[in-house]
Structure 1
């Protein structure tokens, strides 16, 4: 645990030294950088605050500096984005509204830190322009400088929104309503969710990844637990859990989601007996697509946790199988770090959804013969989902295997991501350490990866899952 805390402090110290106030630090160049996702508001600082409190650093100089940064930052304007001023409703909700409200709650809801809520509300007031054009489904890209949705960018997506952008706002905006007494925040986001629930599902409880904003009808039929859909499904259990409502409507929807997931998406690999959730699309692939991603690996822990809470043993078993299969992806690579995406052949030897001859190269087949999967995207840049599911699996089972896996992953990251004592980079190929590095330290390294690693070696009664819900950016 102390080794993980030291790694957090080392990397955050690099950020403070070379990039404080910027969104991220570039460890190789030793300089800061802003980006459109984090809007030039010091993303690493805000994403780190809840982890600092959890690690007992709330009286530290680092935390005091973070508070002062938030106090002096204007969350109603930005110099970032294309066009300038454009931000993501989804990203700033999970990182900033989630991060600021979490820090306020975790540190005792002190009067002298009330400004954390005020700042979150000032940002939410600007983001609420996402609903200005009369649709229940918000525009994800909002120009907070000009105070309107950014339609030009939206047209590239043919007037559609992805499920995650619609369905990953409820926890954060509900807490903001709680602290401000303004129910408009939660009403906006819950009304958006109703638009999804009333839309035609591809399978019961499983909607197309994208929905037309105007008609509220599905755009094509791509179904996935991966990016673009992921955290909406995650919140089906977490939002009712936060409310303490075991009769909540979303739990009934989750029952449908899980029944369809088990029937349509849960698959075994032909070799190795690994368990993953396939994607599905008749439009793109005539049905099942044998593909899973690092992003989708959150599903293991999320499904297992929901199964434990709702006494659904089949869910818990499936979640633990997915969690272990995702963890095994780390053990297969040269570096001991997992890739971003992979596919597999089923027991009939079919690579469903990978029919193009260019998809299945001889190198991929050779890897598949050994490991039962083939890697399709080999880079890694601080993604937390596999360790996140290890954390939930550890809390549910108490099996030391999960701690061993997490410790091995951490040691591999220390070995291959640390660059000349100036912090963790990304890696271009987890099977070839010489392939190159990505010069950027993601803010979710601090919000999620270090937090889940730390919690795995902490007293399980601290931040008990009976008492805390972690949002999709791991802010309690």
Structure 2
């Protein structure tokens, strides 16, 4: 399965590199530590306080006699008793200057038992060590040895003092040596371990990590620095070099085994944190709302008030398919496939359902799963859903209506939409899915329908080169003169550029329409605030409304892609606007208490990038800002985009995470914010996917081989990606 592991290899074969500066410093510290330990031993340990200490101790040790360490062997021959006693006395006399040791009546027993050496009082020895020289010069007058022990008190005391010197000196001497060697060895091994870890920069993160869920933790400092260690159940998950078995039928994994170049260990851990978030969201959906559309994470039940109503369409399941696959969550993906095969149907849905939402989530979700796996089940389901949408296209102009009843096939538009008009962002956001579906099924009917929509739009006059948000599907005329790169307009412009990219840059008509539209938007709608924040305002009846929707924050990535995919007169300006819009959306996040962005934000002399109205202050787990972070990171590799993305991860964890999943919040400026108790399906489809890819290497879903539909479902690029599987009857 896809990405059950990720491999990094930043080192190459060849001769060994020189030490890094950090390694040289570490080696220097090793030797400094060694010197400190040695000097500590000579000047601070009590046994080496004076220059003659070693010689004095040696003499005392020598006078103590060998029996302190090894008792005399037992005398087995009774006849040799007198001879052995005499020999022992002569030995003691020769080594010790004690006349008092000579006692004619000395009788030695046949056996000298081994007497346990008492544990010395080190504090007492240390206190008396400077008085020992005088005491050892005193001679005892008599020594009695009975059962191997001295009985005369003064001699016994003298002998004990000598024994104590022996016991004190030797352990401290050994201890010093041991401490020195252990410290030196330990620090050296640490140095070698450190160098080895830096020389072997590839790690494998197994799919089993996905099972850890809430017990999977990461060490993060208060300053935001993340320690390169992953912990589960108090055990460090170590770097591994064993690859996970891969199924040979999995074309995607075979192609994208992911040799990582732009990912550090810290990024790996951050990416795994995002995966853990996906596990938390998914497991709670499965536990409390399996088969339903969305989850209420606080109430811990299904959300029946979603755009798909109370019908069990499994919107979260279908929306999550490619995210599960990309993150290597094989078990969860297989469970989802099984549900789709056994349970998914639209036949019994007798309600007005959004054509746009059904297309981007269900058709798009199934197509992405097919692209990644080649599993025909997903292609069949995508075609099944698309066929259910076709009655909505039966209008005089071929412009589809907004809502459809799957049971009856009847369709209609929203009553509030400019006299029953269709909405630009809805009928203009079908092209990618239907074109791709025609290519993989051989049925050209899907492409013909979206090509007709484009033809109608090209024939219309466009005020100031802009596309109004409303179009009457009966008359083919524009409705209200409201232009927006946010709600009601956004993804139409996105699909112009991506249709060109999806075609392998052969759909020149789409690129031409994109450049013309973006040029008009930059001229008439893009503005800068007094403090230099770039934003895209709405245009209503020739008047600018200095407001920007969170939905428009995707435009940073859109302008960036337009800049880097074709060099023309707009290239530099596109990138300037891309960076400016992405920065402004980031500002809308950091100017709130929660560090999450509001639904809309305004610009005036008094305020910039902040929401003013209560109905604009909510955050429903939207992905658009993170989408631009991801695209801009891929295009520029500017570290700030990853840093900003990690800030969002932390904000989501702090303010949106609940025991039952993730919830939106009602006011991003409140302390603390109130949660709305809805886990949107696009949080799993888009928000977490873009965050995961932000901390992944460019080789995972490279932008020159894959595009993302407006729900972040991945489609291969024609003639650039071998996973673009043309049907036999399709034209190349």
**Normalising by structure 1, what TM-score?**
0.89
CA displacement 1:282-340 (0-9 Å, x = unmatched): 2xxx5111010100111111111111111212101111110111011111111111111
**Higher RCO (Cα < 8 Å, 6 or more apart):** 1
**Native 8 Å contact 1:335 1:430 kept in 2:** yes
1:315/1:65 CA distance change after superposition, 3 Å: same
Deviation at 1:373? 4.3
CA displacement 1:392-428 (0-9 Å, x = unmatched): 1111110100000000111011000012x21111101
Deviation at 1:33? 2.6
**Native 8 Å contact 2:423 2:471 kept in 1:** yes
1:222 aligns with 2:482: yes
Residue 258 (structure 1) aligns with: 518
Match of 2:642 among 403, 407, 422: 403
**Native 8 Å contact 1:166 1:193 kept in 2:** no
CA distance in 2, matches of 1:144, 1:10: 33
Deviation at 1:73? 3.0
1:158 aligns with 2:419: yes
CA distance in 2, matches of 1:216, 1:119: 32
Deviation at 1:104? 1.0
Higher mean displacement: 173-182 or 402-411:
173-182
CA distance in 2, matches of 1:138, 1:18: 36
Deviation at 1:265? 0.7
1:386/1:138 CA distance change after superposition, 3 Å: same
The residue matched to 1:218 in structure 2 has which SS? coil
Residue 7 (structure 1) aligns with: 277
Deviation at 1:35? 4.7
Give the 5 Å matches for 1:337-416: 337-345=596-604, 349=605, 365=606, 368=607, 371=608, 373-376=610-613, 377-416=616-655
Residue 96 (structure 1) aligns with: 362
Residue 146 (structure 1) aligns with: 408
Residue 67 (structure 1) aligns with: 337
* Aligned Cα root-mean-square deviation (Å): 1.6
1:194 aligns with 2:464: no
1:330 aligns with 2:583: no
1:243 aligns with 2:503: yes
**Native 8 Å contact 1:97 1:172 kept in 2:** yes
Give the 5 Å matches for 1:266-305: 266-270=526-530, 272-282=531-541, 286-305=542-561
1:140/1:247 CA distance change after superposition, 3 Å: closer
Deviation at 1:65? 1.2
Higher mean displacement: 299-308 or 36-45:
36-45
**Native 8 Å contact 1:167 1:235 kept in 2:** yes
CA distance in 1, matches of 2:492, 2:517: 11
Match of 1:125 among 381, 387, 403: 387
**Native 8 Å contact 1:139 1:154 kept in 2:** no
1:19 aligns with 2:289: yes
1:439 aligns with 2:677: yes
1:426 aligns with 2:664: yes
Residue 453 (structure 1) aligns with: 691
Deviation at 1:372? 5.9
Deviation at 1:434? 3.2
Deviation at 1:135? 3.1
**Native 8 Å contact 1:85 1:144 kept in 2:** yes
**Native 8 Å contact 1:75 1:122 kept in 2:** no
Deviation at 1:64? 1.2
Residue 356 (structure 1) aligns with: none
**Normalising by structure 2, what TM-score?**
0.58
CA displacement 1:89-144 (0-9 Å, x = unmatched): 1101000000001011112x1xxx31211111111111100022443111111111
**Native 8 Å contact 1:77 1:145 kept in 2:** yes
CA distance in 1, matches of 2:293, 2:682: 11
Residue 475 (structure 1) aligns with: 713
**Native 8 Å contact 1:136 1:192 kept in 2:** yes
Higher mean displacement: 30-39 or 177-186:
30-39
CA distance in 2, matches of 1:386, 1:317: 17
**Native 8 Å contact 1:36 1:87 kept in 2:** no
Residue 361 (structure 1) aligns with: none
CA distance in 1, matches of 2:418, 2:334: 41
CA distance in 1, matches of 2:597, 2:585: 8
Give unmatched runs, 5+ long, in structure 1.
350-364
